[in-house]
Amino acid sequence: MRRHDRREVDLETEAGPLRVGLWRDKWVLAWRRDGSEAVEEVFDVFAREAEDLVPSLLRIGMSEQPARALAAELIAERAVMDEEDKRG
């Protein structure tokens, strides 16, 4: 996972390359990537915690364990971003 900008990350998954927006209001948006360009939105979900994100990751083609691990990682990254926003 690598930061694309302040609230977005780019990552490679078993479902292909994604850009994921981790918004402070708990919405998580994901787009398929083609190179460095986001080309197609694949989900937009309200996710207070990792478990809320898992069904969307499964729908785009991830298997159960990788989806759960990625969901936890994304929610943790969002918490880091939220903390960075607080500090300015």
The pLDDT score that the predictor gives to residue 61 is 96
| Three-state SS annotation for 44-67 | EEECCCHHHHHHHHHHCCCCHHHH
The pLDDT score that the predictor gives to residue 36 is 87
Would you list the domain boundaries of the chain? 2-87
The pLDDT score that the predictor gives to residue 55 is 98
Residue 61, both tokens = 């083609």
CB 44 within 8 A of CB 52: no
The pLDDT score that the predictor gives to residue 57 is 98
Total Cβ atoms within 10 A of residue 45: 16
Q: pTM for this structure?
A: 0.93
Residue 40, both tokens = 């197609």
List per-residue pLDDT tens for the chain, 88 residues long: 999 999 999 999 999 999 999 999 999 999 999 988 999 999 999 999 999 999 999 999 999 999 999 999 999 999 999 999 988 7
The pLDDT score that the predictor gives to residue 88 is 74
